[in-house]
Structure 1
Amino acid sequence: MYQIFSDHFANHNPGRVILAASLAISAASVTLTANAQDSRLPDMGKLTATGGVSQVEGAGGGGLTPWALITGYGTRDSYGANVHYTQANTQDYRLKTFGAAFGIADQVEFSIAQQEFTGSLAPLNKLNLKQDIFGVKVKLAGDAVYDQAGWMPQIAAGLQYKRDANIGGLGALGVTSVKQLGAKDDHGIDFYVSATKIYLAQSLLVNGTIRMTKANQMGLLGFGGDKKDQYQAQLEGSLAYLINRKLVVGAEYRMKPRNLGVDNEKDFSDVFVAYFPTKNFSVTAAYVQLGDITVFNPTKQRGWYLSMQAGF
């Protein structure tokens, strides 16, 4: 599996792939507006917001953690897709993510994304890390929306293959590879299972995710480390309240492993508001806490997060 994904990213520029996907989705959205009666087009039959927004690693869900929901608004007889751009700024760092995702028959989701992490405070003011991410999610059981009488949530399993594409700006420290920071690998796979339940009468969404991972700072600092080099179960959770059909507020929490001696990694958390003016577009804003980012800068990182998603 590693070889297949590695060959894919070696032979294709992720930025070009995502740009092509973006153009294709934009064209499809225009066609959708002009030919709403064409049965070959996506039906967009799911309720607004039930496709989620784009998670920071490209999957459908919240900003920090994936949900069991499949991206897009296509029902079991259709399909859906979207593109997104996300940026998170703290006092000393910036994370940018852009990507595309495609949902089929409300059962399977494919996603591709690229992250870029940069610094602004010496000695990490020239820091530039890039990571490519390819994800797959499969719905296993339940229905988060339509099974209101039962207790069972919708359950999905997924994986995210991640590969460090670039590590720059640390030459002055003699670092040109994440392995020099103590990481065991520059690529790896996260496995996760998510359970999501929507209580329509209470306008509430509850999600829990268990992630098996070796990733350091989501993989931007490699996988495994000098302190630990085995898969660890990390808990992630989301709670969202639907104020109305177009406005959602909520909070998320994501546990993180601590594998590297140079990075006393901290858990992530946020509070967010998401606005869905139409099913074709959404914007999410959040206040995020990302904790420490390496021993070179022990300041606790807090800041804002903004994500835009377009699709069908």
Structure 2
Amino acid sequence: MKTKLITLTAVAISTLAVADVNAGSRLIATSGVTQLEGGAGGGLTPWAVISGYADEGEYSIGAFHTSTDVQDFRLKVNGVSASYDNRFEISAALQSFEIKGVAGDLRQEIYGAKYRIYGDAIYSALPQVAAGIQYKRLLDGDIADAVGAEDSDSGIDYYVSATKVHLAAVAGYHFLWNATLRATQANQMGLLGYGGDDESGYTLQPEVSALVLLTDDLALGAEYRKKPDNLSAFDEDSFSDLFVAWFPNKNVNLTLAYADLGSIAGSEDQDGFYFSISSWFK
């Protein structure tokens, strides 16, 4: 599964990045970038926007790769997404989490779906609102069992997001904000299982993003993601980042970010850079 998904992602990105294709009717950058769990949004948190540039009656398919490197860990994510009618989105992603100096990766599959309930991020007075679900399946659960996770097999996250673009709102620049509320049991997004000895049930966690479009194709922004602290063995900190996203055309997005991931599995002060490339065909 891992090899097939990575190969499919690489082929799709290389094909779409060089193709001269009709990428859909929506304005550039309204796709967002691709979130670590596979959906459209920022790097850390999903937004209410739908992946790609498909508008009413159109479809979009895409692929992405993200690589994050901090002091003691590396995270690589490969995935694909599809959307229709600027209304419905599905995605699949494979996370591979490497503990530096230790053989083998922790791997997690994530299958997501999102539905736009109301509004348009640009054209409606109220924010665009969407609801999503992420089914997570941990392929390597031994460490999750060892640290006290209640479930080392699978978990489900539910979320609601609201996204709004304010045109020429900040010194003449377009401004976007997003607020997400997630119901989750996941430890470190699920890489350390779901639930724990301190907290086993679902908790509500806020996630926020904001960005300014410096030009039509260049965005500067920041994100914050609160996470549950379910395990007595380790403290789990919030995620945050500062990012630059470039949209040279509707087929490709490149994102570079500085991420502060806090304490991960007892290793303190984990921060570093991540790079992500996403590509879409209408």
Give me the whole-angstrom Cα distance separating, in 1, the residues matched to 2:64 and 2:229.
Answer: 29
Give identity over the alignment, percent: 44
Q: What secondary structure sits across from 1:228 in the alignment?
A: coil
Match of 2:135 among 161, 165, 169: 161
Provide the residue aligned with 1:235 in structure 2.
Answer: 206
Shift of 1:14: 5.0
Match of 1:109 among 89, 114, 118: 89
TM-score by length of 2: 0.92
Query: Which structure has more strand as a fraction of its residues?
Result: 2
Q: Which amino acid aligns with 1:229?
A: S
Paired residues for 1:78-93 under 5 Å: 78-93=58-73
Q: Which amino acid aligns with 2:111?
A: F
Match of 1:224 among 195, 216, 223: 195
- Matching of residue 55 in structure 1 with residue 24 in structure 2: no
Give me the whole-angstrom Cα distance separating, in 1, the residues matched to 2:180 and 2:190.
Answer: 18
Q: What secondary structure sits across from 2:25 in the alignment?
A: coil
5+ residue gaps, structure 2: none
Shift of 1:19: 3.5
8 Å CA contact retained: 2:261, 2:271: yes
Provide the residue aligned with 2:50 in structure 1.
Answer: 70
Provide the residue aligned with 1:94 in structure 2.
Answer: 74
Match of 1:136 among 88, 93, 113: 113
Query: Which structure has more helix as a fraction of its residues?
Result: 1
Provide the residue aligned with 2:275 in structure 1.
Answer: 306
Larger relative contact order (CA 8 Å, sep ≥ 6): 2
Q: What secondary structure sits across from 1:261 in the alignment?
A: coil
Paired residues for 1:4-83 under 5 Å: 13-17=1-5, 19-20=7-8, 23=11, 33=20, 44-83=24-63
Deviations 1:67-105 (A, max 9, x none): 000000111120112111101111111111010111111
Deviations 1:205-239 (A, max 9, x none): 01000000000000000000011100000000000
Provide the residue aligned with 1:9 in structure 2.
Answer: none
8 Å CA contact retained: 2:17, 2:252: no
Give me the whole-angstrom Cα distance separating, in 1, the residues matched to 2:177 and 2:56.
Answer: 22
Provide the residue aligned with 2:161 in structure 1.
Answer: 194
Q: What secondary structure sits across from 2:261 in the alignment?
A: strand
Q: What secondary structure sits across from 1:300 in the alignment?
A: strand
Q: Which amino acid aligns with 1:246?
A: D
Shift of 1:300: 1.1
Q: Which amino acid aligns with 1:143?
A: D
Provide the residue aligned with 2:263 in structure 1.
Answer: 292
Q: What secondary structure sits across from 2:139 in the alignment?
A: strand
5+ residue gaps, structure 1: 1-12, 37-41, 168-175
TM-score by length of 1: 0.84
Give me the whole-angstrom Cα distance separating, in 2, the residues matched to 1:20 and 1:47.
Answer: 27
8 Å CA contact retained: 1:18, 1:113: no
Shift of 1:126: 3.6
Deviations 1:253-273 (A, max 9, x none): 000100011220000000000
Provide the aligned C-alpha RMSD in A.
1.9
Provide the residue aligned with 2:151 in structure 1.
Answer: 185
Shift of 1:201: 2.5
The structure-2 alpha-carbon separation of the partners of 1:43 and 1:82, relative to structure 1 and needing over 3 Å to count, comes to closer
Larger Rg: 1
Q: What secondary structure sits across from 1:145 in the alignment?
A: coil
Provide the residue aligned with 1:270 in structure 2.
Answer: 241
